Amino acid sequence: MKQRVVSGMRPSGKLHIGHFHGVLENWIRMQDSYDCFFFVADWHSLTTEYADTSGIAQSIRDMVLDWVAFGLDPEKCVVFRQSLVPHHSELNLILSMITPVSWLERNPTYKEMLDNIEQKDLTTFGFLGYPVLMAADIILYKATRVPVGHDQLPHLEITREITRRFNYLYGEVFPEPEALLTETPKLPGLDGRKMSKSYNNSIYLSDSAEETRKKVMSMMTDPARVRRSDPGDPDVCVAFNLHRIYVPQEKLDEIIPACRNADIGCVECKKILADCMIERLAPFRARRDELAANPGFIDDLLQEGSRRASLISDAVMTEVRTALKF
């Protein structure tokens, strides 16, 4: 029997290529070898966006359109929306009763975000408790594996602790989910900082060919290469991080020495990158346009996926209530 994987994404709207290579590509790979449940974590959005929820519905549609257009197949995995499966909320409530506050307060992301995000008041019960909701999201489907990067291991550890506590108090209902460590390529934005919507430095999956070319041509290169005649270093070149993903190896083998000997200029080099990116992304972008022409498509897909997810979660919640002697 296939191992079960559960993973979610907060609805952040249109995805950029950092999201694609960091998360979505892994999901697409996993859908053939695991029993996968992928969800839109819209209730998680409320932990930080509670003051203005007006953009969430559109962000969900834009994001799921990217998921499907770029290769997530709802026939191979369950694609659903968290808030359409209210069992997430019921299990969250039960788990919140057994989770010590000290476990949540020592969560490194919680402390970091409280310190760094000044524009929003994050001193809420919901924000402190988001790892409990995350635990509910995962164990509700009895997931055995959770795809995570190294930096997310502390989150998974809280889920595992909560699972052990539940099983200790009420009997062995849930398997303890294990990490499925995923490779996340380092993908800087156009200006060399982390690719992020808030820095306005992203290349989106849904960008047109022209927008992609314009963005690639504006991308930072090796900061020490001021003149065309200066030798460059691909290892410190911001754009070259994308070359490694999109440009075929034979071409890279030509570019690397040519850059080091100043035989190729950055304009020419980035043109090669833009051409390769545009060519590789074109069929997915065409598919995205096709799907976007049917306005009800994503809503229907999420309704159906959420119905399928509920069949599993309903049975698990019956077990939970029995274990609690309710």
DSSP 48-110: HHTT--TTHHHHHHHHHHHHHHTT--TTTSEEEEGGG-THHHHHHHHHHHHS-HHHHHT-HHH
Least distance from C-beta 261 to ligand SF4, angstroms?
10
**Residue whose token pair is 């892994």:** 26
Least distance from C-beta 213 to ligand SF4, angstroms?
14
Closest CA relative to residue 80, chosen from 88, 70, 91, 92: 88
Least distance from C-beta 210 to ligand SF4, angstroms?
20
Pairwise CA distance, residues 148 & 162, whole Å: 18
Q: Which is nearer to ligand SF4, 30 or 274 (CB)?
A: 274
One-letter identity of residue 104: L
How many residues in total does the chain contain? 326
Least distance from C-beta 237 to ligand SF4, angstroms?
3
Q: Which is nearer to ligand SF4, 111 or 186 (CB)?
A: 186
SS (HEC) of 276-304: HHHHHHHHHHHHHHHHHCCCCHHHHHHHH
Pairwise CA distance, residues 313 & 326, whole Å: 17
Q: Which is nearer to ligand SF4, 136 or 259 (CB)?
A: 259
The pair of structure tokens assigned to 263 is: 């035989």
Query: Residues in the site for ligand SF4, rule: CB under 6 A?
Result: 221-222, 225, 232, 234, 237, 239-240, 255, 259, 264, 266, 269-270
Helix and strand numbers (H, E) in the chain are 15, 5
Least distance from C-beta 228 to ligand SF4, angstroms?
9
- Quote the Cα angle for 279-283-284, to 5°: 110
Closest CA relative to residue 187, chosen from 5, 19, 8, 14: 19
CB count within 10 Å of CB 34 equals: 21
Q: Which is nearer to ligand SF4, 247 or 320 (CB)?
A: 247
Least distance from C-beta 189 to ligand SF4, angstroms?
15
Q: Which is nearer to ligand SF4, 208 or 261 (CB)?
A: 261
Q: Which is nearer to ligand SF4, 177 or 232 (CB)?
A: 232
Q: Which is nearer to ligand SF4, 227 or 325 (CB)?
A: 227
Least distance from C-beta 186 to ligand SF4, angstroms?
15
**Cβ atoms of 114 and 128 closer than 8 Å:** no
Q: Which is nearer to ligand SF4, 131 or 232 (CB)?
A: 232
Least distance from C-beta 276 to ligand SF4, angstroms?
13
Sign of CA dihedral 41, 45, 46, 47: positive
Least distance from C-beta 232 to ligand SF4, angstroms?
3
Q: Which is nearer to ligand SF4, 63 or 237 (CB)?
A: 237
